[in-house]
Structure 1
Amino acid sequence: MSADSSTTGKSGLRLPTVGVEEEFILVDQLTGHPVSRNRDVAAAAARRGLDLDLELTSCQVEVATSACATGQELLAELRELRTVVAEAADEVGVAVIAAGVPPTVPDHFPITDTDRYRHIGQRFGMLAHEQGISGCHVHVGVSDRDTAVAVSNHLRHRLPILLALSANSPVYRDADTGHASWRSVLWSRWPASGPPPHLRSREHFEQLVSMFVASGAILDDHMVYWDIRPSDHLPTVEIRVGDVQSRADEAVVVATLVRALVMTAVHDIASDLAPPIVDSDVLAAAMWKAAHDGIDGDGIDVVTQQPVSAIAQMESLVTDIRPALDALGEAALVEAALDRLRAEGNGATRRRDWFAQKGTGRDIVESAAREFTG
């Protein structure tokens, strides 16, 4: 994603750019098992003019969009990127899927052969070798790092419903995990992961990062894996709570909601409105509940500390950010997505239904491959 640019709409709300990073899993076309071919696929993609990023495990690649001004622009770019990746994978004889975890996996994943990734593998052991998990990271342009830190405080209480919405990893090791987002459960084992703490200032954020690095808990700034963080290389706030989405249009819905949430937070910050006070233990319980139930069950309202259905939480969120959605011209997109969620559920719903019918991770891989460029 390129540098931040923005305009101001008629409502007075700033209209920031938005970009998405998606991590994908390379799998054998016959067995559905992850395969260590990310360098080969990256080379094939480069011949098509696309530079892929290599992830920690050698069965993964990552794409990143540019800074987009509209949801339609973002959708077109995501579909183009996915098409190129699928063609490159097919050229080298593998398939590619967008799933939070590989539905069928070996005992461990080979580490991509770079100095940094080898160091992570040596330092973090089985955490790294059991990786192979894929997220959807949304970058929204902000004016500076101080704003990014303030936005993080304003969005902490929204993390559970964003996780429930984006859940897309219920099947792992050929089994229903009992969780809509098993990716988030695996990811929570890393240091500096999960919801960030309430940050008093940019300096507080930087002090925490320095402490993590100096203690050896993380190797560098890029290993701050919190669900919201100021980007370490872009003028953005990065929301990274979600599983990668099966379809590009679902990724655009997640990105649009995040973009509108950031716009609303920036407006509230400018109006001197304080963020909600959220108890960390309640937030942790709400995150687990969201990972377990996804969009189909109940969640926890971390402000009232009361149970509430995930769909009701989504409806409340959309109401709260309606001015931002109207300013973006994306309200109809989000309302249509809400209708689909009520009727069909999300990626985790589909995965679990398919697994119940077919009973193998291989069938989940096939269905995910069909949806990849849709």
Structure 2
Amino acid sequence: MAERAGVPRMSDDRLRMTPGPTEVPAAVRERMSEPTPNPDVEPAFFEFYRDLTAKLEAIYGDDDIAILGGEGILGLEAAVASLVEPGDRVLCIANGLYGEGFADFVDMAGGEAVVCDAPWRDPLDRERVEALLADESFDVATLVHCETPTGTVNDIEPILDALEEHGVISVVDAVSSLGGTPVPTDRIDVCLGASQKCFSAPPGLTVCSISDRAWEKIESFETDSLYTDLEPWRDAAADEWFPYTHLASNLYGLDAATDLLCEEGLESVFERHEDAAARCRERAADLGLSLYPDEATPSPTVTALEVGESATALQRTLAENHDIVLATGLGDLEDDILRIGHMGHNARVDRVDRTMDALATVLE
């Protein structure tokens, strides 16, 4: 295959073990190459969309499913924009970058964000959450299931218990965990996922489940936004009208990716992620590398390793000399953390071994 002038061809052998976007399987790429109908006017497309959301219910549960045309961050902003009206009080429960970032969306929506934050190395502060809920009134609460920047999976069920007890609507960012490890979706009012993580489809789609209680709040007021308003999506497929032209090829890819997950079976998918994560942690220990933050809360989908101040250099050397792409940390941890994504199609022990063999060579 010839290269276009100035555009280098990506290596077919390059292994991208990043915590999203993940490698896209051949079946997904092939499906995306099919001719697509006009998503605005052809009834066949709306039927396809209804079938796809029905398939996603096998992963999510029984709540209504909406698929938005935009990368996963769109889901975080849309959930807040659709649920928070000016003056609403929102409890932002955080122990990482994305948990803290919810407060920015609350401010944009005119709400009052109360951030219950914990250090990035610590679990979510359950006791402080319960104390705040006992003393103050909140309309909505936000939290993150898997904080990708630190490779941490949070135990969110006790917090969901407290939110339910106080009648607070829950918004959970499960972008890096949905489809790779169990998520208590039946306990969550708005649960957010994305195509480019454990689904192993290209970036470009947000998937979310929305409870009846959340719909009631969403429909109680009008937002100042079109693109981030969830309300039109409740009846979009039934009415055969989308608020904007949908990403037809991306939806085809997500459909193929969902088929792969369902054919393998969720329990087998979860076990595959656990096996890949365990091998990654085992190999890291053999290399004398410590997990960030510790061994108590590592994610089955991404492993964060402490590498001093050499993450960027290691990332560059692995890409240039071994054709393996990893991620560094984010924010203040950019050069201290090397992150290995074993999620979606890449959650395979042989791919972890290839990655860790290369890392061992570089470290030596």
- Normalising by structure 1, report the TM-score: 0.27
Higher helix share: 1
Larger Rg: 2
- Normalising by structure 2, report the TM-score: 0.27
